[in-house]
Homo-oligomer: A and B are copies of this chain.
Amino acid sequence: MDPKEFLMIPGPTPVPDEVLLEMARHPLGHRTKEFSKIFMAATAALKKLAACEDEVFILTSSGTGAMEAAIANTLSPGDEVLSLVCGVFGERWAKIAEAYGCKVERVVVPAGQPITLDLLRKRLQEDKGRLFKAVTVTHNETSTGVINDLQQLSLAIREHGALCIADTVTSFGAVPISFSAWGVDVMVAGSQKALMLPPGLAVVFCGERALQAYETSKCPKFYFDFGRYRKSLESETTPFTPNVSMILALKSSLDMIQQEGIVAIGSRHERMKKALRAGLTGMGLKLFVPESCASPTITAALPPASLSVDAIRRTMKERYQIRLADGQEELKNKIFRVGHMGYVFERDILMTLAALETCLHLLGYRCPSGIGVGSALTEIAALTGSPAK
């Protein structure tokens, strides 16, 4: 028998059984009261989870589609955009804005580092003419495992007057976010991350200033046109046939999230991050990102000097059916990434560390037996005050 594949990658992520069962239901008609009820409940739960006072649109697409929607609905060709880039997904904002004819300036920091408030403030202060129409921000950079301080960055952008357009694809549902209070204008989330669903749905939160910007935006759009989604919401539906199965599943996962509570979920992810980082360091591996900006959902580490990323990932897969992710683009073969978001718990971290230690041993790397799990347990005990020392 094949042991079940286990995804410790930054999406798709493990999906709870109750959510999978919703996926397996016969689809409802999308123009029925029954569907509208579930759809509106999911919409309300998303707004509550994001502390969003304005609009939320559920799109049938992956997160990139929602990123494109965020640009195409608020900007016009020729608009000046500042893109804060600390990895592949920060760069994606810039590429999308360029595809729509915006003039994009990038603030780039080396991979593994965050976008600091000072760096942003400095650039915004130089913009005396207030030419930047929007600033794009990546909350949690999936390619490096860095989390930026979205709250601080967003408030600084609001002070300048530009729109804050944020990617929270790999943080939403794992990290408490206050969309309206933080002054974020457009925010994008995806289903296959901490929302504990398969890929195929995306979510866009849209504040009042973004809705105003929509009115004058000249980028072409149709399938992702916010105006159509907003109008359809008045009759409790979507403008185009949505993925009804996934909206049922979304309602189910949002119920689970509400039950645990986003504060408790945030603590769980913090704990998993710290346990995993302690375990990896305990085994002698080098972490790619400093503690101060380490993502609670993705941890990147360097392989021991003697081993390749490929060998570690392959051994983990062959021996334990645990999937880890490679680095992306220029970080390919340089780091490996462990995803720990959504339906992932401490025991999964311990299992992953135990499996990784075995694989490192098998590949000839030497570290004391049990040091990875041991270090993680010590960290957890320190965090929780539990007696296990």
Contacts and interface: CB of A to CB of B under 8 A. Distances in A.
B220 A100 contact: yes
B14 A20 contact: no
A127 to B, nearest CB: 25
Nearest 6 interchain pairs by C-beta:
A200-B243, A24-B24, A12-B27, A198-B245, A65-B223, A64-B240
Given A60-B199, A199-B244, A200-B60, A220 B27 contact: no
A267 to B, nearest CB: 26
Nearest to A92: B222
B30 A199 contact: yes
A188 to B, nearest CB: 12
Interface in A1-44: 4-5, 7, 9, 11-12, 14-15, 20-21, 23-32, 34
Contacts of A221: 99
In the complex, the count of this chain's copies comes to: 2
Contacts of A240: 62-65
A68 B223 CA distance: 7
Given A20-B25, A20-B26, A24-B24, A62 B9 contact: no
A101 interface: yes
Contacts of A29: 5, 7, 9, 12, 323
A222 B30 contact: no
A386 to B, nearest CB: 30
Contact of A99 (B14, B34, B222): B222
A61 interface: yes
Nearest to A32: B323
B11 A241 contact: yes
Contact of A241 (B199, B241, B246, B325): B199
Given A12-B30, A24-B24, A245-B23, A222 B96 contact: yes
A93 B299 CA distance: 45
A63 B223 CA distance: 9
